[in-house]
Chain A
Amino acid sequence: DAGVIQSPRHEVTEMGQEVTLRCKPISGHDYLFWYRQTMMRGLELLIYFNNNVPIDDSGMPEDRFSAKMPNASFSTLKIQPSEPRDSAVYFCASSKSTGLPEAFFGQGTRLTVV
């Protein structure tokens, strides 16, 4: 299996622009997580889905952030409008509901908002 695939790996955008991050989970995994990592705040869980349904979005920082999972093999995290303080590495992870919650992480998207 190719693992969790995220795109793009790097994104540089201007403040105010819309940014869309993409994730393809491992086939057969029914949980999908979006995390944000910064030096100041460490690793934060933003939102997670089970069977394409959002379960907990309490970590989403504000209304500028939204996430969707239209099917089992694709999810997006959108920031509109973006701000410099959104600069971070965004990780997607997936896991199966059977067995231990061993999350498999993608390589992340490094977002820089200038």
Chain B
Amino acid sequence: GNSVTQMEGPVTLSEEAFLTINCTYTATGYPSLFWYVQYPGEGLQLLLKATKADDKGSNKGFEATYRKETTSFHLEKGSVQVSDSAVYFCALNTGFQKLVFGTGTRLLVSP
């Protein structure tokens, strides 16, 4: 079946540190991959996406590259801010409208 595995959190960083949140997937076919972010008290928002191998999604300084050979879609940011503190969800879709989400990784950034 289709599934997404994310690193467990929380990830605790100081402001301006480098961020990596790991995500690997198992899927039949050729999935599209997504990162969603959930700020406290809010719903999930799409952060970035990639539709095929070697595509790089980017938004707000965050990046993730679709790696088919390692079935991964790791989220990175060069310099995090306190305002990036949130829960990050990796997700995949295999051609139907239903998204399969990972368990989420909480990021805490301190000043």
The proximity string for B residues 44-68 relative to A, scoring 1 for CB distances below 8 Å and 0 otherwise, is 1110010100000000000000000
Chain B 66-107, CB-CB to A under 8 Å as 1, else 0, gives 000000000000000000000001000100111101111000
Which listed residue (A56, A100, A105) contacts B32, Cβ 8 A? A100
Of the listed stretches A14-22, A42-50, A61-69, name the one at the interface; the rest are far from the partner chain: A42-50
CB closest residue in chain A, given B103: A42
B46 (CB) vs chain A CBs: closest residue = A102
**Chain A residue with Cβ nearest B41:** A107
A4, CB-defined interface residue at 8 Å: yes
Q: B93 to A101, Cβ gap below 8 A?
A: yes
Please report the total number of B residues contacting A with Cβ < 8 Å: 20
B104, A42: Cβ atoms under 8 Å? yes
* Contacts between the two chains (Cβ within 8 Å), count: 50
Query: What's the minimum C-beta distance from A72 to chain B, rounded to whole angstroms?
Result: 15
Name A's interface SS.
strand
Q: Does chain B have a CB within 8 A of A25? A: no
Report whether B43 and A101 are in contact in the complex, using a CB–CB cutoff of 8 Å.
no
A69 CB, nearest partner CB in chain B, Å:
15
CB interface residues, A 49-105, toward B, < 8 Å? 50, 56, 91, 93, 95, 97, 100-105
B98 A56 Cβ-Cβ under 8 A? yes
Q: Which residue of B has the minimal Cβ distance to A31?
A: B97
Task: Write the B26-42 contact mask toward A (1 if CB under 8 angstroms, else 0).
Answer: 00000010100000011
Task: Name A43's contact: one of B32, B89, B93 (CB within 8 Å).
Answer: B89
Knowing A42-B103, A43-B89, A102-B49, say if A107 contacts B97 (CB, 8 Å). no
With contacts A4-B43, A91-B44, A107-B43 known, is A101 near B101, CB below 8 A?
Answer: no
Contacts of B98 in A (CB 8 A): 33, 45, 48, 56, 101
- Note all chain B residues with C-beta closer than 8 A to A108: 42-43
Contact of A97 with B97 at beta-carbon distance under 8 Å, contacts A102-B49, A106-B43 already known: yes
Interface residues in chain A, defined as those with a beta carbon under 8 Å from any beta carbon in chain B: 4, 31, 33, 42-43, 45, 48, 50, 56, 91, 93, 95, 97, 100-108
